[in-house]
Chain A
Amino acid sequence: NAGVTQTPKFQVLKTGQSMTLQCAQDMNHEYMSWYRQDPGMGLRLIHYSVGAGITDQGEVPNGYNVSRSTTEDFPLRLLSAAPSQTSVYFCASSYAQGIYGYTFGSGTRLTVV
């Protein structure tokens, strides 16, 4: 099925561990992005990419890295997990600057203990 696939769905990390959240889309979308969703805070943009090889920071980039080596994949790396990074993470993609909207993945629920 066409769409945005995020893995894993759930993850528990210990403080200081690193991990990569995976995001893949099969719609040939040029734009991909990562958000975190926290209660009362809405969606906050972490990083985004407008094409392979191009990434930029969003509103809350600290503690996260991204890369975009292919059009399909946009992994999010947590370098040294902290309890403040406990959140639900969403990946989203779009075609043609979002004129038909943005497609979201089903999310990764991350807990850092």
Chain B
Amino acid sequence: GEDVEQSLFLSVREGDSSVINCTYTDSSSTYLYWYKQEPGAGLQLLTYIFSNMDMKQDQRLTVLLNKKDKHLSLRIADTQTGDSAIYFCAERGRGSYIPTFGRGTSLIVHP
């Protein structure tokens, strides 16, 4: 089946930029998503990008999509301690209702 891969952990200093990377295998991926999960909470949609886009910016968040390499990244500028959470990458193939999620990257922000 299709797969989404993420590194498990990322540690950054407060005020630095964080870059969380994701690779996927589904060449028909149409929509790609980034979710944030804080401890004890559900998944919150941060942003999404359509496969015909290369980049999307939303305040401190920048999403880059490289379709050729099937690589998606999420950059968080000026990372704060409140950004500490698990970040999930997900993709949805053409014609499917079902998204495929990565296992999540734990972002740890230290002072």
Contact = CB atoms under 8 A, between A and B. Distances in A.
Interface of A: 4, 31, 33, 40-43, 45, 48, 50, 58, 90, 92, 94, 97-107
Contacts of B90: 102
B99 A102 contact: yes
B39 to A, nearest CB: 11
Contact of A48 (B33, B97, B101, B104): B97
Given A98-B99, A102-B90, A104-B43, 12 more contacts: A4-B42, A31-B97, A40-B103, A42-B103, A43-B43, A43-B88, A45-B98, A97-B96, A98-B92, A99-B31, A101-B48, A106-B41
A109 to B, nearest CB: 8
Nearest to B104: A42
A106 B90 CA distance: 18
Query: Main secondary structure on chain B at its contact with chain A?
Result: strand
B25 interface: no
Contacts, number: 51
Interface string B82-97: 0000001010100011
Given A94-B97, A102-B33, A42 B45 contact: no
B81 interface: no
A109 B14 CA distance: 31
B98 A48 contact: yes
B92 A107 contact: no
Contacts of A100: 48
Contact of A106 (B35, B42, B96, B98): B42
21 contacts: A31-B97, A33-B98, A42-B88, A42-B101, A42-B104, A43-B101, A48-B98, A58-B98, A90-B42, A90-B43, A92-B43, A98-B31, A98-B33, A98-B92, A98-B99, A101-B45, A102-B33, A102-B43, A104-B44, A105-B42, A107-B42
